[in-house]
Amino acid sequence: MGMFLTADDLAELTGRKIKSKQIEVLRRMGLPFHVNAAGKPVVPVAAIEGRKQVAPPVQTWHPPK
């Protein structure tokens, strides 16, 4: 198994195939994930396996309003 869940694993975990809906479900589940450049959620396998070494999502920079 790789470092991140596959697209099929993610669809099975969330019950959704649309990336925005997957993100909604992952937030409700409280699972750590990142959004890649394609806008797809990326979930570390360690988050599912219950390992403690999972880093929290990195905050992205936003310009001041």
Q: Determine, yes or no, domain membership for 58.
A: no
Domain assignment present for 55: no
Q: Which tens digit of pLDDT belongs to each residue from 17-49?
A: 999 999 999 999 999 999 999 999 999 998 888
Better pLDDT: 50 or 38: 38
Residue 11 maps to a domain: yes
CA distance 60 to 65: 15
Under DSSP, the state recorded for 38 is T
Helix (H, G, I), strand (E, B) or coil at 16: coil
Extract the tokens encoding 39: 């806008």
Does residue 38 lie in a domain region? yes
Q: Is residue 62 part of a domain?
A: no
Q: Is 17 a member of any domain?
A: yes
How many domains is the chain built from? 1
- The CA distance from 65 to 57, in Å, is 23
Q: How confident is the model at residue 61 (pLDDT cuts 50, 70, 90)?
A: confident
Tell me how far apart the alpha carbons of residues 5 and 46 are, in angstroms, rounded to a whole number: 9
Residue 48 host element (H or E): helix 45-49
